[in-house]
Chains A and B, each alone.
Chain A
Amino acid sequence: MDIHSIIPNYQNLPMPAPVWLLELLLVLGFFLHVVPMNVSLGGSFLAPVFLFFGRNNHDSNIYQLGRRLAYSLPIFISFAITQGIVPLLFIQLLYGPMFYTASVLIAVPWISILFLLLISYYITYIVIYRYLNVQTHEKASADTKAIILLFIGFLGFLTIAFLFTNNTTLMLTPQKWLAMYTAHPTGLNLNLGEPQLIARYSHFVLAAIAVAGLAVAGLGAYRVDNQDEFSKFAIKLGSRIFLSVTLLQIPVGVWFLFSIPHDIMVNFMGQDKISTLVFSLAMLLALLALLASSLASFSGSVKAYYAELTIGLSVVLAMIINRHELRSFYFQDLIKPELVPVKMQWDLIIIFSISAIGLIYYFYWLSHLVWNAFHQKQQLKIIEEVNHGKSI
């Protein structure tokens, strides 16, 4: 069978912008999705673990850290969802024929993402308002419930990530589609036979825990009096998590690389110049991230943390570019979005760009406002505490 006979056609309408711009927006948008998504996924694992280790002493740093992490989860989850819209938009625009088809084939698990997401999201809210708030936070049973519930939320996110990996790999391999559809036209399929699946998934889940480690360290650096004991503790612990998980990532990454078909893998090993360059850059950055995180793990210094954060996020971006290149190699002989005619929607693109700049400025203004709101409060509290100490 000719594989092209089951790759659906693009619509008979022009693209609103050239392919390179759409690809750029896809990659950038995905990066903005990945960061909060990783914190949600990894954080919903780390938070219950921290709470577990601190359950006997609520004043301990580890308990406080778990509590703060749990409190921040809804915001990260919400941003993971909101930012997911951008790649969802551009992946459909660029690779719709592959993406829609793969989604239909796994329709039932795919649509279940919505329910899993809703449940996991509300679980974190329940934990925060019911079990971790001030009135109940002394009770041991509330702790147990919080830990169990957060862990269930984590399982939800873990499943969602697995379903995404199923879809993003199934869309690469149209040769499997027809047999799958004939077996279950009701959409009860998964891409479990894919050799890349488990390696790729493990690679992403570990990365999520590492990035959540960066967020944990961030909770320490965020403190105004960030040289205090808690702050140092958080930076050290978060950096250690990042460091150890990233070390573990070395064998897993190699496994992922070798699970890719050989003729595609060689592109990253010298055959394709740009891909090889990005890949080498990613390796170099990963090495630097390991160095910076060891530094931060031992010193707990805020400066080392910022270096670690910057380099760590650059590694994520470089990996996302690799991932995009990987998909392009798969698609090389399958579909060509660049053959669809382009009719630039200049007016919209200009309005969009101006608004995007406005939004960045607004976010800057808003985070400033929120930061001040909380830090003034915190400073007041410190002053109060100091005064209180004096009066005793």
Chain B
Amino acid sequence: MSGMTFTMLDATKMSTAEIYGKTLCDLGEEHKEIVGLSADLAKSTKIGMFGEKFPERFFNVGIAEQNMFGMAAGMAKAGLVPYVSTFAVFTSMRALDQVHTDICYQNLDVKMIATHAGLSFGQAGSTHHCTEDIAIMRSMANMTVIVPADGVETAHAVRAAYGRKGPVYIRINRGFDQAVYERPDYGFELGKAVTMREGTDLTIIACGSTVWRAVEAARTLEKVDGLKVRVLNMHTIKPIDAEAIERAVRETRRIITVEDHTTIGGLGSAVAEVAAGTGKSFSFRRLGVPDCFSIIGLHEDLLAHYGIDENGIAAAVRETMGRDFEADENWDDEV
């Protein structure tokens, strides 16, 4: 992959945020108009790596997120390309008016790399969990929303964000993510889902930390239950890959979405909007955090608690396979 200055082996030893920091350093070398901003979370979000390399192009505004996003808007208006990093919860909620009005409304080139998303900062509790941001950010006009599945995909996304006109929101986790790709050149393309596994019985559509878990579940289901489950990594939530969703409806007629996010308004809703538009009948289920403030705990434990780990996903698939949906003998596109 172009511009990646670390190997796959290095990538397994770096947290997702470190891969982001490294990628931004490389990108900053190539494009002098890139600047970085953080709000007393330079170290935690790893944008500090860029700050160390380009101190004169890095601005730590203190604990003042609203000012930070407003400043980023001003910098973008003046021709710079700001990469802005704080926790997802403060990007999507604390500074939302600035993101909405100063950045999205004016369609400015501000790239928001939001860390500690979903339940990945599990022990910090609901002031730091962020299970609403996909819903919020995808409702903003002009915004692109990317939820990378692992570190390597984060590197692709951070680079793709530069080439994409307008505001981009990239949602990453705290800490390490299980690598889902064996090679970096799997063909990342903004707005195009990646087929992680082929299958015709059911399609799991996942994003972020649930992709690896969905793949594991599909593997188990094939071995144990003989099921052929398709897994799509919907890394770009907006613009969504409608074609891949429509194909999944036609070809598998059973869809399960899974996300480390509330079931209201996120990936599941985005998929439902497209799938409902096909006019076909299909079985559908959304897995995610139910309508509540999460309990505290380790990320893995919380994903298991809300049934969005390998076991929860596999159980949901089995349950859905046993469910009937309205027969439609006339479907000529059915397989």
Q: Are A and B physically bound partners?
A: no
